């Protein structure tokens, strides 16, 4: 199966248009959504709905951003098994990490794509967030990266239903991009790719095609990413977490404008005009 076939499939649809609303039958590309189980040392821990592409990156990124692994070297082996109902990712991880995973007693269903499903208490839901070292980003860099994101989203271009996450350098060039039906999954895939490639994260930033939620900010900070740019808005908890991590958070990034939700204390603010 080609990569294109892995993330999309063709289905017959009826298209209705004005003014007569006559139906026209044709084939359309739909993004694939598949149950993906993450199995650690033989024990199933999470089942997520994901696009069946770049799953090795997804498994590593998810393990790092969920705090299951502290370092990529703690993943000893990873195998993919196609099963009747989906795909199982079998991860062989360090025994200490596995002992800690058993203690957490968390079981994520992935039904809502929130990453908090199965948390047993409020303390588990809002985890401590590490502080990061934010890069210096100017407006032109943000806008340049935004203008290039679409070029790295073939699944979105074909189906209109896939999220993208990109790693951009200090000039706004997209170096790594991953897609998935789930926004969290896309970010985990990108973070997994960063880890696998041993990419330096001091001067770049993450760009996502979705809103900036708590989980998106937390995943970035957990991966040592100091800046997150989102195409849609930020949530209130995302801003609070960005402040706690000193992460540069930018949202509503559209051609010609974007909003800075949190500017790190180490970076002076430009002269502001008040409406």
Query: Which residues participate in catalysis according to the annotation?
Result: 114
Tokens found for residue 18: 């004005």
**Spatial distance between the Cα atoms of 203 and 133, rounded to a whole number of angstroms:** 9
Which residues, in sequence order, are bridge partners of residue 229?
207, 250
For 223, phi then psi, to 5°, come to -90, 5
Q: Minimal CA–CA distance to 164: which of 133, 135, 193, 127?
A: 193
Pairing of strands 43-50, 34-40: antiparallel
For residues 148 and 174, is the Cβ–Cβ distance under 8 A? yes
Alpha helices by DSSP H, listed for 131-235, are: 139-149, 154-159, 183-196, 214-222
Contact 93, 40 (CB under 8 A): yes
Q: State yes or no: cis peptide before 84, omega within 30 of 0.
A: no
* Close Cβ partners of 156 (under 8 Å, ≥ 6 residues apart): 150, 162, 163, 164, 179, 209
% helix, strand, coil for the chain, step of 5: 30, 30, 35
């Amino acid at each position: 199966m080609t990569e294109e076939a892995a993330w999309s499939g063709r289905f017959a649809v009826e298209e209705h248009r004005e003014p007569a609303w006559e139906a026209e039958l044709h084939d359309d590309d739909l993004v694939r959504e598949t149950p993906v189980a993450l199995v650690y040392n033989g024990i199933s821990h999470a089942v997520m709905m994901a696009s069946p592409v770049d799953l090795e990156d997804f498994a590593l990124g998810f393990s790092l951003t969920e705090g299951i692994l502290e370092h990529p070297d703690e993943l000893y082996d990873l195998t993919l098994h196609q099963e009747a109902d989906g795909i199982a990712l079998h991860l062989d991880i360090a025994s200490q990490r596995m002992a800690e995973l058993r203690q957490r007693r968390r079981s994520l269903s992935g039904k809502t794509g929130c990453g908090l499903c199965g948390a047993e208490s409020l303390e588990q839901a809002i985890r401590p967030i590490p502080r990061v070292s934010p890069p210096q980003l100017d407006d032109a860099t943000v806008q340049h990266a935004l203008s290039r994101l679409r070029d790295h989203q073939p699944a979105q271009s074909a189906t209109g239903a896939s999220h993208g996450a990109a790693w951009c350098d200090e000039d706004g060039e997209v170096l790594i991009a991953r897609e998935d039906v789930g926004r969290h999954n896309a970010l985990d895939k990108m973070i997994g790719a960063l880890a696998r490639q041993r990419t330096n994260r001091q001067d770049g930033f993450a760009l996502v095609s979705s809103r900036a939620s708590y989980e998106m900010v937390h995943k970035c900070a957990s991966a040592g990413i100091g800046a997150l740019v989102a195409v849609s808005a930020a949530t209130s908890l995302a801003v609070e977490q960005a402040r706690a991590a000193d992460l540069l958070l930018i949202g509503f990034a559209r051609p010609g404008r974007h909003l800075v939700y949190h500017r790190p204390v180490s970076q002076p603010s430009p002269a502001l005009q008040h409406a």
